[in-house]
Structure 1
Amino acid sequence: MESGMQKLVVVSNRLPAALKKDNGQWTVKAGSGGLITAMAPVLKNRGGVWIGWSGAADPAMDVDGLLADFSNEAGYELCTVPLTQDDVDGYYYGFSNEIIWPLFHDLQTRCRFYPEYWRAYLDVNFKFAEVVARKSDQDDYIWIQDYHLMHQAFFLKSMGVKRNIGFFLHIPFPPPDIFMKLPWRRKVLQALIDYDLVGFQTIQDRKNFVGCLQRIMPETRVDGCGSVVTVHTGNRHFRVGAFPISIDYNQFSDLAKQPNVVRKAFELKEALRHRKIILGVDRLDYTKGIPERIRSIQNLLRRYPDLKGRMNFVQIAVPSREEVDEYKDLRTEIEQLVGRVNGEFSMPGWVPVHYHYRSLSHEDLVAYYAAADIGLVTPLRDGMNLVAKEYCACNNSEDGVLVLSEFAGAAAQLQEHAYLVNPYDMDGVAKGLHRAFHWSKEVRSHHMVHLREQVRKNNIFWWVDSFLQAGIAKTLGDFPEIDTVHFEQV
């Protein structure tokens, strides 16, 4: 890469590759999740850098050596931030996931506001900022991802390091009455206003953020209109915008057309005797509303006995935070609910709920999307929810129905042609599913065509361009691909 050429530096809690111990040996495994899906094509072969934690809590390990091959394959440099087990416990499991995650998802009763978590959060954010300062140049654009790292601009500024730095929050931002419960509310807001650009998933999240600023800093005023505005508070002015994240539409749609995926989708339909398939796909988390969804299926079968034997609900739950007691309890609750529903309604040759607690390969997941007649995406609260968009992209037959929670960020974009439901209203979800089940082919096609066009136009590259345009008046095209050695994946 030419000296002095501006590059993108992405900073997130986790790298897109994780170290795992198998039979006493450390191995490198590709990560998963919305952020990695979104950012990998953006950095590939453009001289980019991704900074994050490797997943190993042993600072003495030669992590960089283990990740070297992955970096070559990925087409961008991976830089690790070494963390101890105490760091991980306090900053990640503690402050990030026992305070910010539940609070920002309107579930404040699950919060544990322990002061030691706050101290660990600041310590780790400082460690990240040191690596960012060392691994970036003044001309680079630093793009900080998500709630784990809200203090990056604050610490870089305190070090005297000048960088153009943007922040994007992938989860919702709560309204003032909820945010004010955070003991460190002023310090968090003061850290966020040190960024040059703060991005949110929706206009509502942006409004919530500005409302919190105005509550704590009454002099705050907003200039402009549209998705990006300028905020003035004290002697600071910075930009704040709504940038709904998306997916690589063509990647999903094209994969769904591959003969082996088409065959897998057909085999799924055959195995379920061509009954209509209602599909839920989620990481196992209490914000996703999986127990409420299963109870909605129970209500559906109780209220509409005509559907018995004519549909199957398939719930895929991807394992997450398996060592945390709350998540173990959630898994147990879901398994017991599935057992009750199947015990109540099963008949010879028909079991209504198929529950899979495991990760799926990309091909298998796309086959499920392609096979499903109804995508049931009902989080209690979600920043965006890319599953809703993935389902639409894979529905090449344009014959599916998206039943979507009004509390998912995706609802702001897809509300006109998705069937919106309140996930807490289990009778309402059942009613919505029954209606969707009986929609004519023409109605289903009309809505799905528009949903797919929305996702196709506003894809991951549009998301990146809109953020970079607001941050540095550039687009992805200003970070051209460079000559690089390609390695075949093993």
Structure 2
Amino acid sequence: MKATRLTVVSNRLAIIVDKNEDGQWQIRPGSGGLVTALGPVLRDRGGQWIGWLGSNFQEMLDEASLQELLEQGSRETGYSLTPVHLTGEEIEKYYFGFSNEILWPLFHDLASRCNFDPSYWRYYQQVNDKFARVVAENTLEEEDYVWIHDYQLILVAACLEEMGVRRRTGFFLHIPFPPLDGFIRLPWRFQILEALLRYDLVGFQTVRDRRNFMDCVRMLIPDSRVVGHGHVARCLTSKREVLVGTFPISIDYKQFAEFAGTREVQDEAWIIHANLPERQLILGVDRLDYTKGIPLRLMAFANALERYPHLRRKASLVQVVVPSREGVPEYETLKSEIEQLVGKINGRFTEVGWTPIHYIYRSLNRIELMAYYRTCEVALITPLKDGMNLVAKEFCACSIENNGVLILSEFAGAAAQLHHGALMVNPYDIEGVADAIHQACTMEEGERHMRMEKLRRSIQRYDIFRWVNAFLHTAVHQHLDEFPQAEFFVPKPMPAEI
């Protein structure tokens, strides 16, 4: 049966609601890889996005005002926005607790950072059930395909099934899936695995992630087996058959490449170049998180300046850190560590007219970010582990003169696609990363062009629309173009408590 509407479900809605300088409530486009990836896909196709608004707005806005903002957001995004209301305690224990103190570190192979508080699990179940009820009330069995995203909402399909609600559902995990010896540390490993097997299709970023999942199923689920090879296989259990596939996420290559060539971006890039003249710029752009490997990256840059002194005055690192989970002690400690390292390195190597590291702790607007992509000759992307890392792909798409060099961690999901053109590094190997920085800064123009052309061709071919089409074709034997273009659906008014 064909689906006529695509409903995306994620922890956060695709918009941000806050106050402007005049104290009036406003909406802004959301940030992050998921919004960047799926915004172009849902736009003007009658699509729907279900998620949490990011704060307890029902206590700050009356129902009519909130509904007006959501309708405005629907018009501007081109798809319906349906909110899920969460209480303060649910936010604390479902989001900051189970999702980000248990699943996030565990799935990134950092089990020592986990806090296995039993109360977190109860709230994770409660919130997933709440999301499932909103899905049930705002979708139809005959029309909707419900595509649920990421580790915060693993239980939604199981909750729907327990309510007796039939929907065609798919799940995509944006972060890595851990190997068996890491996953079995989770006290609720059986419940999580069983919940994933309630979806019709489960998608992962890389072959490695899918293999880890299948290993866990084989070892922990009795009488289960896997049939088939290629990017999609069938997982058979005593209860059902589930498709399990590999679908590496990507970006809207054409949009990034075209916007990078606009006059606004060129003017901003010229300002950056004029303020940092006669040197190669190395760019790091990361959300504040311990998985991104920022302290090790700074140490590697310092090591490069120490061991390759001719790089001094000839290269500078621009490190952009986007604030994340402010107020969480662990993240505040990480921020302090980064700032102390920046101060120490700059204090040691700075000379008149040259500062080694330019540190930016804030979000960049779209024009600023594109301008840094255009201006910087080297991108230093060195996460300790990452589901994909779209920054690497964005940098390449915006290198429209083919003069950029990508240094990429072998533990980023993007490495599987980009390793042929990037300089691959182990982020824990400080001297190895320093050597790659030196190699990138001294690379001949011809090799730069050859490598970047190869990277850009690959990203152009495997863009965001190919990712969506691959998932939807596997899920419902449809491509994106088969979802009709239509007016947006206005969401139903949300009750005070669900």
Q: Percent identity?
A: 51
In the TM superposition, what is the alpha-carbon distance from 1:28 to its structure 2 partner?
Answer: 2.2
Alpha-carbon shift at residue 35 of structure 1 (Å): 0.2
Report deviation, 1:481: 1.9
Query: What's the TM-score once normalised by structure 1's chain length?
Result: 0.96
Asked if 2 retains the 8 angstrom alpha-carbon contact of 1:58 and 1:85, the reply is no
Q: Distance in 1 between matches of 2:317 and 2:147?
A: 39
Greater relative contact order (Cα 8 A, min sep 6): structure 1 or 2? 2
Q: Name 1:33's counterpart in structure 2.
A: 32
Separation in 1, partners of 2:465, 2:165: 29
What CA distance in whole angstroms lies between the structure 1 residues aligned with 2:55 and 2:122?
21
Aligned partner of 1:388 in structure 2 is 392
Q: Give the match's secondary structure for 1:29.
A: strand
Report what 1:195 is aligned to: 199
Q: Tell me whether 37-46 or 12-21 shows the greater mean CA deviation.
A: 12-21
Map 1:158-177 → 2, pairs under 5 A? 158-177=162-181
Q: Distance in 1 between matches of 2:131 and 2:245?
A: 25
User: Which stretches in structure 2 are left out of the alignment for 5+ residues?
Assistant: 490-498
Find out whether 1:407 has 2:405 as its counterpart.
no
* Residue of 275, 279, 284 corresponding to 1:275: 279
Question: Which residue does the alignment assign to 2:495?
Answer: none
Distance 1:375 1:419 in 2: 10
Residue 109 (1) aligns with residue 112 (2): yes
The answer (yes or no) to whether the contact 2:3–2:476 under 8 Å persists in 1 is no
2:121 to 118, 136, 152: 118
Instruction: Give the conservation status (yes or no) of the 8 Å contact 1:167–1:199.
Output: yes
- Secondary structure of the corresponding residue to residue 203 of structure 2: strand
Q: How far is 1:273 from its partner?
A: 1.1
1:69-148 map, 5 Å: 69-139=72-142, 140-148=144-152
Aligned residues: 482
Alignment gaps of 5+ in structure 1: 486-490
Distance in 2 of aligned mates of 1:431 and 1:41:
39
* Equivalent in 311, 325, 329 of residue 325 of structure 1: 329
Whether the 8 Å CA contact 1:38–1:248 is kept in 2: the answer is yes
Counterparts of 1:171-250 in structure 2, within 5 Å, are 171-250=175-254
Contact 1:58–1:84 (CA<8 Å) still a contact in 2? no
- The AA in structure 2 aligned to 1:13 is N
Match of 1:417 among 408, 417, 421: 421
Verify: 1:312 aligned to 2:310, yes or no: no
Partner of 1:18: 16
Partner SS, residue 236 of structure 2 = strand
- Counterpart amino acid of residue 85 in structure 2: P
Q: Deviations over 1:212-249 (max 9, x none)?
A: 11111142211111111111122221100010000000
Q: State whether residues 59 and 83 of structure 1, in contact with CA within 8 Å, keep that contact through their aligned partners in structure 2.
A: no
Taking the aligned partners of 2:58 and 2:140, their CA distance within structure 1 comes to 25
Distance 2:24 2:44 in 1: 30
Offset at 1:143? 0.1
Given the two structures, how large is their TM-score scaled by the length of structure 2? 0.95
Letter aligned with residue 130 of structure 1: R
Distance 1:193 1:221 in 2: 12
Distance change in 2, residues 1:190/1:313 (3 Å): same
2:12 is aligned with what amino acid? R
User: Which residue does 2:382 correspond to in 1?
Assistant: 378
Once the 2 structures are TM-superposed, how far is the Cα of residue 164 of structure 1 from its aligned partner?
0.6
Question: Where in structure 2 are the equivalents of 1:415-454 lying within 5 Å?
Answer: 415-454=419-458
Asked if structure 2 preserves the Cα contact closer than 8 Å seen for 1:15 and 1:54, the reply is yes
Aligned counterpart, 1:488: none
Is 1:466 equivalent to 2:470 in the alignment? yes
**Cα distance between partner residues in 1 of 2:85 and 2:445:** 54
Rounded Cα–Cα distance in structure 2 between residues aligned with 1:107 and 1:24: 42
Correspondence for 2:48 = 49
Matches within 5 A, 1:56-67: 56-60=55-59, 61=61, 62=63, 63-67=66-70
